[in-house]
Structure 1
């Protein structure tokens, strides 16, 4: 088991470059299966989940060549569909939630696929209905075998159609897009997710010869094509990591500059942190966060307590709810955190309470945070990371706390944050990696 040992209380200073976007990578990497021609991808994050997906693609027969740091060349000209029948495939795919994204391109190109029930964060129910209902609308037939926990899908005759997604699922939308791009006829997807990651996928597919219109909206039109060609693609910086660094700077009273942040793609993320009283300054495409002794949470216009809730894009991303919550613990004022999507994502607050935070967990979806205004510093404790986002939230709390903290199960943090210990060490953080 991997653990982080953190000596809190150090003020950080310097510049940091965000990694490539994890949530984009899981879609873009699977999209290489749509063509037999080479695809070159830049700004690939060196994190556990992405590396496991690259290993899975290689095991399926994709030729993988690392060109330089964070740049890869993929060629899916000789896919071994028999590999899907092997115990090794079941083991690798079941261990990675992102493996669900191979379904769309495999169904589009080969007309069939199978996938074990994927793993991932334990943050509540994460149903796959949107993926399969979308495939069914296109004409696929699937069955779930409870004996071997496999989904078997026959998509030998995919045809374009109109569909209204039951939820604006990012991965569900991406999977249906990839399945529809080679289907016969025109597919219209309403209530589609429109996150920047979906926009990136659509733009990449169009460069490959696809015909997708409505990019950036929740109404996508996909005209099926016979085949796709190779392309070159650069991934966005990770907006979740950018938000994490903003919260880190505020909690540790640090002066940090986040370089090359693609501010135009961050939506309302900076504004929500501003509502917590955090000062941000745009310097070109960089975000400068000055050292702040105190920051005060805004109220609504009528004076009522601020509520921060997650919502589909362009609403506030659920992956930053944990960061907002921990950042509010040292602010002045109160805020109600409403995590609508996952009913288990707020359960990590018991660790923050043990550290001295004033938090009332109202129910599985809501927590009331009463800011301490730094009157009482958090204290270091030993704790366990339950998932990626909670893990980095606990890391931020530990870096701001008085004393030493141990975070066990730190592999969870490595799943989503690239070399986080060494990168923060360069800013002055005291983090030691313990095996």
Structure 2
């Protein structure tokens, strides 16, 4: 189990460039299964979860050529479908939440798709019903082996259908879209997720020959086509990483520039950080965070009541940044209620922040009230364990701001979502060492 040793309390300075988007990569990589032609993808992040999915695709028989840093060409023209029934696939699939998104493309192109119950962050229940209910509406037969936790869907030919999703699931919408593009007839998906990463998937599929309209809205209409062709696709920068660096700059009172952020795809992220009193300057397509020497003050609502920051499906605020928001609020001037609606175990990491001296009241599994220190009392260094990707990077931000030397164990969780994070942080002045 890997460990970070962090000497906190140091000012950072310089520029940092966000990696390609993890959550986009998991969708885009699965889409290469929809065609026998070559698909080139650029700006792929070199992180554990993405590399596991690339390995899974290679085991399935996808030909993979690395063109350079973050650039790969994929060709799924001779797949080993027997791999889907193997013990190795069951093991590979369980290690990665994103493996669920191979099912839609395989079902659409080959008439069958299988997956073991996928892994991922331990942040509460993350059900798969939306995915499979969508496949069933398209005409697939569903089966589930309870002993092995193994799911399967099969259909000789999918047929377009109208569906109202029970939740605006990003991965569920992506999976159903990838199945529907090769279905016979028209598919209408209402209450579809509309995150920028899903928009990227739809735009890529349209370049491959799909007919998807309503991209960017919660009503998608898909006219099925017989086959798709190759394309080249470049992924967006990772908005969660961008938000993490905003929080890091504020918490360490450092001057940082975040390069090439794709401002138009950030949604409410800059505005929510501004509500905590953080100054965010737009410079071209970069974000500049000045050193907050006097700290930052949380805005109350106009009637004077305490600010609440909560998550919601896009264009609401992403749940993946609530852990960072909560951590940054511990040194703000004022108080805020953080309401995590979408995952029931994501706030349990706050006990580590409380151990560091933060003033946090965990009201219930979904809500925490943070009373900021206003930098009058710094967080104290401690030893902790990263429970998941986003809590892990939040604890890392806390450790970089704290006085003394902190230790974070189980950093494999952080590596799942952040590329070479220790090297990149050292480049802007952080004192962080990786110990295996």
CA–CA separation in structure 1 for the residues paired with 2:155 and 2:421: 41
Deviation string, structure 1 residues 112-139 (Cα, Å, up to 9, x no partner):
0211000000000000011011111101
What is the aligned partner in structure 1 of residue 275 from structure 2? 275
What is the aligned partner in structure 2 of residue 414 from structure 1? 415
The answer to whether the aligner puts 1:201 opposite 2:201 as a matched pair is yes
What is the aligned partner in structure 2 of residue 340 from structure 1? 341
Deviation at 1:157, TM superposition (A): 2.3
What is the aligned partner in structure 2 of residue 331 from structure 1? 332
What is the aligned partner in structure 1 of residue 46 from structure 2? 46
SS at match of 2:432: strand
The answer to whether the aligner puts 1:384 opposite 2:382 as a matched pair is no
CA–CA separation in structure 2 for the residues paired with 1:205 and 1:79: 20
What is the aligned partner in structure 2 of residue 23 from structure 1? 23
CA–CA separation in structure 2 for the residues paired with 1:337 and 1:276: 12
What is the aligned partner in structure 2 of residue 265 from structure 1? 265
What is the aligned partner in structure 2 of residue 146 from structure 1? 146
CA–CA separation in structure 1 for the residues paired with 2:157 and 2:107: 10
What is the aligned partner in structure 2 of residue 133 from structure 1? 133
Deviation string, structure 1 residues 370-427 (Cα, Å, up to 9, x no partner):
0000011000100000000000000000000000110000000000000000000000
CA–CA separation in structure 2 for the residues paired with 1:80 and 1:159: 25
What is the aligned partner in structure 2 of residue 288 from structure 1? 288
Residues 108, 157 of structure 2: 8 Å contact kept: no
What is the aligned partner in structure 2 of residue 398 from structure 1? 399
SS at match of 1:246: helix
CA–CA separation in structure 1 for the residues paired with 2:259 and 2:231: 27
Relative to the length of structure 2, the TM-score reads 0.99
CA–CA separation in structure 1 for the residues paired with 2:307 and 2:421: 31
Q: How many residues align?
A: 435
The answer to whether the aligner puts 1:72 opposite 2:72 as a matched pair is yes
CA–CA separation in structure 1 for the residues paired with 2:156 and 2:308: 48
CA–CA separation in structure 2 for the residues paired with 1:320 and 1:121: 14
Deviation at 1:159, TM superposition (A): 0.3
Deviation at 1:148, TM superposition (A): 1.4
The answer to whether the aligner puts 1:170 opposite 2:165 as a matched pair is no
Over the residues paired in the alignment, what is the CA RMSD in angstroms? 0.4
Deviation at 1:85, TM superposition (A): 1.3
What is the aligned partner in structure 1 of residue 432 from structure 2? 431
CA–CA separation in structure 2 for the residues paired with 1:376 and 1:214: 50
What is the aligned partner in structure 2 of residue 57 from structure 1? 57
Residues 25, 235 of structure 2: 8 Å contact kept: yes
User: For 1:100-115, what aligned pairs fall within 5 Å after superposition?
Assistant: 100-115=100-115
CA–CA separation in structure 2 for the residues paired with 1:413 and 1:122: 13
CA–CA separation in structure 1 for the residues paired with 2:92 and 2:313: 30
Deviation at 1:147, TM superposition (A): 1.3
What is the aligned partner in structure 1 of residue 356 from structure 2? 355
Residues 381, 406 of structure 2: 8 Å contact kept: yes
Deviation at 1:235, TM superposition (A): 0.2
SS at match of 2:342: coil
Deviation at 1:167, TM superposition (A): 0.1
Deviation at 1:151, TM superposition (A): 0.4
> Please, which runs of 5 or more residues in structure 1 have no aligned partner?
none
SS at match of 1:56: helix
What is the aligned partner in structure 1 of residue 36 from structure 2? 36
> Please, which runs of 5 or more residues in structure 2 have no aligned partner?
none
CA–CA separation in structure 2 for the residues paired with 1:267 and 1:148: 40
Deviation at 1:156, TM superposition (A): 1.8
What is the aligned partner in structure 2 of residue 305 from structure 1? 306
CA–CA separation in structure 2 for the residues paired with 1:219 and 1:146: 34
What is the aligned partner in structure 1 of residue 229 from structure 2? 229
Deviation at 1:155, TM superposition (A): 2.1
